[in-house]
Amino acid sequence: MDPGGASQRSSRSGGSWKGHIIQQLRHRDRIQNTTFQDLIRFYTLLLEKTSLTKRLLSHSARPPEGPNSSSLQIQSSSLKEKMGELAYKVVELQQQVKIKDDVLEEQRSRLQEEEDRLKGASDAKLALQQQVQQIEEKNKKLKTAYDALLERQREAESKIREEKEKEEGMLEDMMHLKKQAAARMNHRNERRSRARQATVQKELRTVARSKVTVDSSSSAPTSRSTSPKNKDKDESTGRSQTRLFRSASATSPRSFFSSSKFSIREMFEKKRGHSIHSLEEDLLYPVGICLSARVPTRPLQVLEAHEQGINTVRFSFSSDLLATGGTDRVIKLWDVRAGWLSHRGTLDGSTEGITCVEFDPTGRRILAASHNKSALLWCLDDSVPKVTLTGHSRKVTAARFTCSPHQVVTGSTDRTIRLWDLKRAACLQQREVASFCSDLVCSENSIISGHFDSKIRVWDSRTVSCVQELPSQGRVTSLDLSSDRRQLLSCCRDDCLQLVDLRWSNDRMCFRADGFKCGSDSTKAVISPDGCYLAAGSADGAVYIWNVSKGNLETRLQGQHSSSITAVSWSLSGEYVVSVDRSRRAVLWRDI
């Protein structure tokens, strides 16, 4: 091998690493030089001045020679001063460097804290992101479940609509069948009645054409002896006369009436209400008589009578029983004893709120109107309805007993008035009206209805045909008749009570008061049993009582109701007044 080539390669390799080291040293020198440039510059100056000072000190140690010795001393002193200043500056610079090092260290620590905080925030961010993802997954699941439930609800609603349509169709079919059955029964009854009448007339004509032979001597009164002989003679004469009459009486009026007595009685019994009357028709109804009603002045009892608002209240004819009906779909019965109301029982069976209640004159039955498009009849000893009258297409606002114990009349917001037979639960008559019916009252031969079109209509109860229309001050909310059936009270939405004389004159009196305001379309006002006072509840929770003869406000009862009063009832004894409101409260009032 060539030794010269090996030496050249070794010299090249040695030169390469040396150059690399020199290059690294130069790079470090540049970095450090740029970092400590000011300090190096000051240090270089300090070294130069130090070396200069040493030289000066060495020269000053020598004895001064020549004339320039004084100037040298001056220069040396000035140099000392400069050296002191430079040394002071060096110390200051060292202190500044130390301060900057402390600041740098503090900034490093703060930077480390911020990095730690940033790391914690990043971890929290990751945790929150995970929570957000979990919540989004839960929301997706809930949304899926909600969509499924919504779909099920829609299906259920569609099924409910279908069932309601089927129910309405079945009700219409049932009512149609009931109407057809009632029409067929009425037709059969009328046909039988006509046949009986024709038979009676035929028999009467036959009797009228027949001849009756009667001995004239038998018709003249004669004085008879009481002797046995005369007695036997009289008996023989009587027997002969009797045989003569019987022989000629085969077609006589006496034989006709004796044979047709049952058929005539049966005819009139059948004609009454198209059905044979029961024993209840022959019972005498109790009639309450009130000579003088007492104006209440103070509350005897305040109670929460229902779970929801109360719509109606009514005393029985004997004044010892009270009925309240509310939006909680029940009727509650209360015994009135010694100025105290005690709960007697509850009548349920209605699927919606009660709008009107009324006792029958015997006090054994109670009739109610309901929002569920029907009227219901209970016996007081049974909580289940005995009869349910269905057929109205909207809520029933009023239900009243007529003079016949087995007939009731109802009014509804479907603009119809219906007459019902309780025995068959069938509608006997139906009349269309131009406006909603708000309330009804019944007298001997008439039905009176109040309507939203500010009119009061009088109907013939036998044919349910409108015979008269009376104007009102506003939309009618309730009607009430006086005990003598001569005066009609109407409550209107224009905050006015109107009293109408139902006799020939039809005089009208209007009653208003400051603060009185009719609270709803079903607010009910009443006449006192003696006809001397009017009572109505206001929207401000007060009961207003007017004096009929004076025409002014008699008293104002307040402080017990916190909401609008819906109904007021005055007992037929004239002793108590009960008011009810929409906040479930009933108040029993009485005079001092």
Query: What's the confidence (pLDDT) of residue 63?
Result: 54
Average pLDDT over residues 259-285: 39
Please tell me the predicted confidence (pLDDT) of residue 212. 56
Extract the tokens encoding 398: 């009023």
In a domain, 203, yes or no: no
pLDDT band at 462 (very low <50, low <70, confident <90, very high): confident
Is 441 domain-assigned? Answer: yes
Report the relative pairing of strands 533-537 and 526-527 from DSSP bridges. Answer: antiparallel
Domains identified in the chain, total number: 2
> How many angstroms separate the CA atoms of 419 and 447, rounded?
10
Q: Which residue has the tokens 């009645």?
A: 193
Burial of 26-52, coded b for 16+ CB within 10 Å and e otherwise, reads eeeeeeeeeeeeeeeeeeeeeeebeee
Give pLDDT, residue 291.
66
* Cα 31 to Cα 387: distance, rounded to the nearest angstrom: 111
Residue count (the chain): 592
Give the H or E element holding residue 253.
Answer: helix 253-271
| Residues 13-66 pLDDT 10s | 666 888 888 888 888 777 776 777 777 777 777 777 777 777 766 655 555 555
Q: Are residues 176 and 303 in the same domain?
A: no
Above pLDDT 70, what percent of the chain? 79
Six-digit token string for 131: 């929570």
Average pLDDT over residues 525-543: 95
Task: Give how far the C-alpha of residue 6 lies from the chain's centroid of Cα atoms, to the nearest Å.
Answer: 114
**pLDDT bucket at 534, cuts 50 / 70 / 90:** very high
pLDDT digit string, tens, across residues 303-319: 999 999 999 999 999 99
Per the CB < 8 A criterion, the answer to whether 435 and 451 are in contact is yes
Question: How many Å apart are CA 416 and CA 357, to the nearest integer?
Answer: 19
The pLDDT of residue 271 is 39
Percent of the residues in the chain that have a pLDDT greater than 90, as a whole number = 47
Greater confidence, 2 or 184? 184
- Is residue 543 domain-resident? yes
Q: Kindly state whether residue 170 falls inside one of the protein's structural domains.
A: yes
Instruction: Tell me: do 316 and 169 sit in the same domain.
Output: no
Domain boundary among 135, 168, 184: 184
CA geometry: angle at 343 spanning 341 and 349, to 5°? 135
Question: Could you give the strand order of the β-sheet that contains 577-581, starting from the edge strand earlier in sequence?
Answer: 298-304, 585-590, 577-581, 565-570
CA distances for 15 relative to 24, 26, 208, angstroms: 14, 16, 171
CA-CA distances (angstroms) from residue 221 to 216, 218, 240, 242, 293?
10, 8, 17, 16, 63
User: Span 143-156, mean pLDDT?
Assistant: 90
pLDDT at 221 over 80: no
pLDDT in tens, 385-424: 999 999 999 999 999 999 888 899 999 999 999 999 998 8
Give the pLDDT of residue 503: 80
Q: Which domain holds residue 155?
A: 42-58+79-184
Concatenating the DSSP letter of every residue in 430-446 gives EEE-SS-EEEEEE-SSE
Tokens at residue 394, please?
Answer: 């909207």
Asked whether the beta carbons of 396 and 375 are under 8 A apart, the reply is: yes
For residue 261, what are its two tokens?
């007595």
Same domain membership, residue 408 and residue 551? yes
Q: What is the pLDDT of residues 323-354, one digit of tens each?
A: 999 999 999 999 999 889 999 999 999 999 99
- 55 and 75 Cβ atoms separated by less than 8 Å: no
Token pair 């004819």 in the structure block, residue = 317
Nearest residue to 302 (alpha-carbon basis) of 583, 2, 5: 583
Mean pLDDT value across the chain: 81
Question: What distance lies between CA 270 and its chain's CA centroid?
Answer: 46
* Rounded Cα–Cα distance for residues 63 and 83 (Å): 23
Is residue 567 in some structural domain?
Answer: yes
Any idea which residue has 């009485």 for tokens?
A: 590
Which among 428, 421, 399, 425 is positioned nearest to 411, based on CA atoms? 399
Nearest to 449 by CA among 501, 412, 408: 412
What pLDDT band is residue 226 in, cutting at 50, 70 and 90?
very low
Instruction: Write down the residue that tokens 């009603």 correspond to.
Output: 293
Beta bridge partners of 529: none
23 vs 538, higher pLDDT: 538
Pairing mode, strands 298-304 and 310-315: unpaired
Q: Do 165 and 304 reside in the same domain of the chain? A: no
What is the per-residue pLDDT for 243?
37
| pLDDT at 524 > cutoff 50 | yes
Contact 586, 324 (CB under 8 A): yes
Distance CA 270, CA 277 (A): 8
Neighbours of 572 (CB within 10 A): 21
pLDDT grade for 127, boundaries at 50, 70 and 90: very high
DSSP classification of residue 286: P
Q: Which amino acid is at 386?
A: K
Q: Residue 326 forms beta bridges with which residues?
A: 310
Final residue of a structural domain among 163, 184, 205: 184
pLDDT of amino acid 97: 87
Residue 220, in any domain of the structure: no
The secondary structure of residue 369, as a DSSP letter, is E
Whole-angstrom CA distances from 62 to 49, 79, 88, 123, 396 are 20, 17, 29, 77, 140
Q: pLDDT tier at 269 (50, 70, 90 boundaries)?
A: very low
Asked, for residue 268, whether it belongs to a domain, the answer is no
Q: What is the pLDDT at residue 158?
A: 84
For the segment 498-523, what is each residue's pLDDT rounded down to a tens digit?
999 888 667 889 999 999 999 999 99
The reply to whether 135 falls in a domain is yes
Pairing mode, if any, of strands 455-460 and 446-451? antiparallel
Q: 82-88: which pairs have CB atoms within 8 A and are 24 or more residues apart? A: 82/49, 83/49, 83/50, 83/53, 86/45, 86/46, 86/49
Q: What is the CATH number of the domain that holds 464?
A: 2.130.10.10
pTM of the model: 0.55
Contact by Cβ (8 Å): 349, 376: yes
Domain end, chosen from 184, 211, 236, is at 184
Nearest to 562 by CA among 588, 535, 539, 591: 539
pLDDT of 155 above 80: yes
